[in-house]
Structures are given as structure tokens and as C-alpha cells.
Structure 1
Amino acid sequence: MKSNGKLMLNFVSDSASVYVKARRLLTQASESGITLTGACLAHQSNLLVKDLMAISRVWNIVEQVVTIASFIRRSVALRSSISRYMGREKIPMWLPSETRWYSFSETLKHVINVQTAIQVVFVQEASKPHLNTASACTVRTIINEKQFWEDTKAIYGLLKPYYVITAISELDNTSAGLILSGWMWLKLELKKTTALNADEKSLVLSKMQRRTENYVEHHHLLAWVLDPRVRGCGLNKTGKRLVRDLAKKLFSKIEPNCTDGSAFNLIKHWLDYDHKEGIFDAESSIWAPCLTSRPALFWMDLADDSPELSKLARAVLSCVPHAASCERLWSCAAATATKSRNRLTNKS
């Protein structure tokens, strides 16, 4: 992207060491340009869940949930009985994968959904052979513990924000702002959860804070405010002032010859946008979902009314916040070109 002849470069990687080196090299190679680099926020979101799963009490509950899910998947008779009790043709039951942390949330949700059904079926069909195996006895012990279900629901509450973050990463027009607002939701859930004790909460929150300090860049914070879908949701007044100062610094790089009048307009329109006043009035048609759902269109529509803020927003929101699309492409390629199919050609 070019702005006033300045080349804007955006580089993102899920390898911390790679993006640090890339930032240094790109900055040196493009002295006349602007380099916006960053870690893959989708990958860092994965690691946030991994930090949560590293807590032994959480992992123990997850293992018990997986035990139940595995037993239901293996036992056709049990699955059929649960489906009949719930009045469904069939019930979904995922098994999680450590390479796809969102699958843990789905597994917990599926097991929670069949709580009543599986407890009733285990009582009604207690004499049947498939419910009198060693595995069935283990599952019976787990599902009859009230504390297990309370902990499972509490942990699922913690994982819901991450599931949303994963869905956000799939969007064509996602932004760092959407992902960071998901992080803020996860942080709030961590603070109020009953699934962790005070020390465990402190440990996970401190790891989240370190990831934020190490991997969230200034342009990520700007995207958090300038994405009209979130508008800095979760940031306090001090945080918004800090981001506003970052906006002034980046705009001075994008427009090195900007006048005092342009700088004043930038701040004035920034405040109007934050408070939904002036040209950003809350009753204005610019807040129609058809525009706010597409940030590029939203700010393009305001190019004449607020040229300074519009240019800054479009520059920041054009940055890709993650490498998830590349990772998905490589996963699909790896599933196609395997060791047993290493003679594939473009035609075959």
C-alpha cells in the first residue's frame, strides 16, 4: 500500500523469532517507508488456551470429558439411546485435537448438552451389557459427580471466547481489533470464573499480560479502536488516550508534511468517532450494519468528511492480523500430498 509515495509494508508470522528479524530487516531495507509487522494473533490465541490447559485441574476435567465423549462415540447403542431420549436423529460428539484448540470447546459443549440424557440412560439401561464394562463404570462414576458438571460448565465458559476468536479468524474482513476484543472477553471470564483458584487465575492472567506486552503492536491497538465493529470496546479512558497518541505518531509518518490543521482535524474527528458526535452522530446512516460490517467501506464512505482519520484507519485496518489462512492452506496441501501419494501431479 502507498501513501504520499511512502510504501507501507505489512508482515505477519506465527514465529516470534522470525517476525522480530523480519521487522529489523524490513525497517532497514525500507527507510523511506512504513513497516507494520506483528506476530500471528490467531497463533497467540491458540497459546492462550494452551496456557489454560496447562493447569492440572483444568486438564483433569478435560480428560474426564474426553473419556465420556470417546465412550459415547464408541458405543453405538448408547449413542442411539441418548439420541432417542433427546428426540434427535443423531447427536454431535467431537473429540478434541491439540492442533485445533477450539475443538476442546466443542467437545465440552457436546458433553454438557447430553448431561441429563446420559444420566437417565445409564439408570434406565443399567443392566445392558454395553453399560457394564470397565469403561462404562468409569463413565458412570464421572457423570454422577455433581462437582464434575459444575467444573465442566465453568471451563466451557472460559473457552467460549476463544471459540469466537477462532470464528473471527475465519472472516475475510477480520482485524486485530476483533481478535483483541475477544482477548478482553477472555480476560473478564478468567477474572470471574469459579473453575480456577486465585493462584491459578493469577498465573494465567500474568501469561496473558506477557503475551500482550510482547506480541501486541501499536497498529493492533489502533485497529482495536478504528474497527467500527468494536470501537475500542474494553479499553478504559487511559487506554484510549494512549491509542490516540499512537494515532498521532503514525499519522505523522504517513503524512510527514501534514499541517497543524490536519493534525487538529485528526484529533477532533477521533473524539467525535469515539463519542458518536458530529459527522459520527449515533443517528447517522454511517452506522448501518452494511457499512460497519465492512470497515473498509465504512471509512471509504468518510474519506471526504474526515480525510485524515479515514486515511489512517484504512492504512491500519488493511494489515492482516494473522497467518491462519496460510496455515489452513498448508494443512490442506499436507492432507493431499502425503508420503503415500507423493507422485501427484497437477493433472492427477
Structure 2
Amino acid sequence: MARRKRLTPALSPLGGEAPPMQATPSRAPIAQVAGDAAALAAFEEVAGEMGRARDEGRLLLRLSRGEIRTDHLIRDRIAVDPEALEELKRSLRARGQQMPVEVVALEAGRGPRYGLISGWRRLLALAELEAETGDPRFGEVLALVRRPSDQAEAYLAMVEENEIRAGLSFYERARIVLKAVEAGVYESEKDALQSLFPAISYSKRSKIKSFVPLVAAFDAVLRHPARISERLGLALARGLAEDPGLADRLRAALEGLDPGDEAAEAQAIEACLGAGPAPAKAAGQGGEAPAEESRDAPDQSLKRDFEPVIQGLSMARGRHEVVLRGQRVTPSFIARLEAWLATLD
């Protein structure tokens, strides 16, 4: 009978019995190359989509506030309502930042990497919260990177965001029109008005245009211009056109006021408007016309520059006269107007 050969286990160089040898499956070189190419293609596709998302403003970034330059654009908002700001801070404290700000990448160099387009109030609220609480989470900002084609598009994005979220006063709207023209973003006030406010009515654009002379004349001395009402602002614009001395009188009155007194500023404007220009001399006489006659006489210099008020109704204004015209001026409309005027006594 043949003897069976006993197999002696191989010894490991480190001692003990070596583990059984396992065959390593071989892979064809072509399969290896194909797999690597597929993985690389998938990676490049993901990276490309991430890049497109970033460029198109679909990728949310977490930035330090110090990376964002807030004065990249001339801001349209002048004043911040303290109560509204406190409400925003309470929301940020409780729920964090829900809506991202919008930024544009700046050229590489010293200083912030991004310029702010919209979201100035959110940055201000975050800065105040970090100062009040010391919580570092308020030092970070959620942001979307936009790529406006030019400065005009960036200004439009800023204005649209504020028009939607918190409407600007007519003064603030007029101010950004004037400042954008001065900065060379637009060639004329007309271009700026039509580009920055394309969706609003012609009537509102006309009112914004009326406020532009106010900005040019008083921006350096007004402390609370955003508080000027539509009525007061339009009256002041008419006064500037009719009374050449009004601008100097009002600037003198405003310069002596307490900068923090909003009511005093409005009263100074009303007082200067009420004073009016010096009465004109009566025709054929060397002296001045009687005060009563000057105050009550209709404004013969009214140019009849009619502005639309609502559809079917336009109005021309003078210092002592208002003229209405249009399809809405019917007997019924006149009766309602007379009844309303009677309630003012």
C-alpha cells in the first residue's frame, strides 16, 4: 500500500502558521482603464454642475461678514426703521438666517472677496446681534453669488429686492436714480428711471422724477429725508420750481435743527413752504399787491402740465389752483368731490 504523504503547514516568517494563499483575481487592463475613465467623467460632471450652480447663483455659500464689502454699490435705502430691525433680529436669533444675501465676486486682491448686491438690512442685523451676544454664528452669512452682466444689472437687482421686501420712499428712489447717474451707471435720469423701475406705473415714475430736484438741493442737509411723505415731497418740488429763493431759505432753516428731531425737520419744511415767495407787485402800481389779493387770486402762471393720477384722471397743480380732467370727471365724481370738500370745514 502506498504511503500518503503528510503535508507540513508552511511557517510564517513572523512565526506561527501562515494563512492559506488566496489567488488575486486579475483584471483586464482595458476594464481598469474604462473604470477609471468613467469615475473621472462622473467627477468632472459633478464638478461642472457645482461650478454652474455657483455661477448661476444656485449654490448657497457660508461666508464671513468680513468677506463682504457693503459699500460695493451706492445703497438705495437711507434709513432703517428701528422697530422693523428689531423684528428682523428676533427672527434671526430664533430661527437663524432664512433668506440669503446676494453678492458678486470681486477681483482678487486685498480686502473683501465679495461685493454686496442685496441684503444690507440682514447684514446690519447680524452685526448687531454678534455685538450684543458675542455668538460667532452671527458672524457668518448665507449668500448667493450672482454674476450681473454690468453695474446697471446689479443696481436693478438691489432695487427690485427692496421694492419687493420693504418698499422705498419716493425720496430714496429718487436718490438712487440721481446717484446712479452721477456714478456713470446710466447716461440720464430718464434711462435710470426706466431701467431701475420698469415694473411700476407711469404715475409713480413721474412722482419719483419730481423728487429728484429735492435730492439735488437738500441731500446734504436733510437728516430724515426718507420720512418726507409723498404729499409733502411733491409740494416741495413744486415750491422749488415756482420760488427760486425757497432752496436757500430751507437750507438755512434745516442747518440749525437738532439732527435727531424728525418732527422739527418736517415742520421746518412746512413752514418754508407756507411762507412762499414775496408777493408780486400789482400791475401798473409801484407798491406790492394787498396780502389778501395775493393769497386768494388764482395762479395765472399755471402751465397746465397734467400728470396722470389714476386711469382716466389727470391733474395739473399750481400754487393756488388745481385742475382735474379726464373721463372720470363726471357729474357723479364732482358731486362726491364736493361732498368730501365739505367735510374739511
Q: TM-score range by the shorter chain?
A: under 0.3
Structure with bigger gyration radius: 2
How high is the TM-score relative to the length of structure 2? 0.22
How high is the TM-score relative to the length of structure 1? 0.22
Relative CO higher for 1 or 2, CA cutoff 8 Å, sep ≥ 6? Answer: 1
Q: Which has the higher strand share?
A: 2
Q: Which has the higher helix share?
A: 1
